[in-house]
């Protein structure tokens, strides 16, 4: 289970941005990015255009979308060499707690991993 969990607790293989990156049909890919931009606006209150939705190979990849490269959680966990934030001695930090308010399922995943350590 833990291999497919990102630093913050998201599951990359089910992330709509990750899936849009892998879509081969250009029309479907564009529609997915339109939908993603709307979801970002509704879920996070951040105005996003479809062309702003970059490619993503998962937050543990060397390269990433603008969201990945500017993510403080990703930067922190990568610098500490963590599998994910559940392994951190400071779990769950303030940044992570703020993220959990937007994605409670990520908290559940990381809590379960943290309890098993």
Return the pLDDT at 65.
61
Return the pLDDT at 23.
93
Burial environment of residue 79 by CB neighbours within 10 A (0 to 12, 13 to 18, 19 or more): exposed
pLDDT tens across 83-93, in order? 999 999 999 99
Q: What is the mean pLDDT of residues 92-117?
A: 94
Quickly state the pLDDT bin for 56 (edges 50, 70, 90). Answer: confident
pLDDT tens across 3-34, in order? 688 999 999 888 888 899 899 999 999 999 99
The proportion of the chain whose per-residue pLDDT surpasses 90, expressed as a percent, equals 50
CA 2/CA 97 separation, integer angstroms: 20
Contacts of 58 (CB under 8 A, 6+ apart): 6, 12, 18, 64
pTM of the model: 0.77
């Amino acid at each position: 289970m833990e291999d497919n969990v990102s630093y913050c607790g998201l599951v990359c293989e089910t992330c709509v941005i990750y899936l849009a990156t892998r879509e081969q049909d250009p029309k479907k890919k564009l529609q997915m990015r339109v939908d993603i931009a709307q979801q970002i606006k509704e879920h996070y209150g951040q105005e996003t255009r479809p062309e702003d939705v970059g490619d993503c190979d998962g937050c543990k990849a060397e390269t990433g979308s603008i969201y990945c490269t500017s993510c403080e959680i990703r930067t922190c966990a990568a610098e500490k060499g963590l599998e994910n934030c559940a392994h951190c001695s400071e779990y769950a930090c303030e940044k992570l707690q703020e993220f959990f308010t937007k994605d409670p399922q990520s908290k559940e995943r990381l809590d379960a991993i943290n309890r098993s350590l």
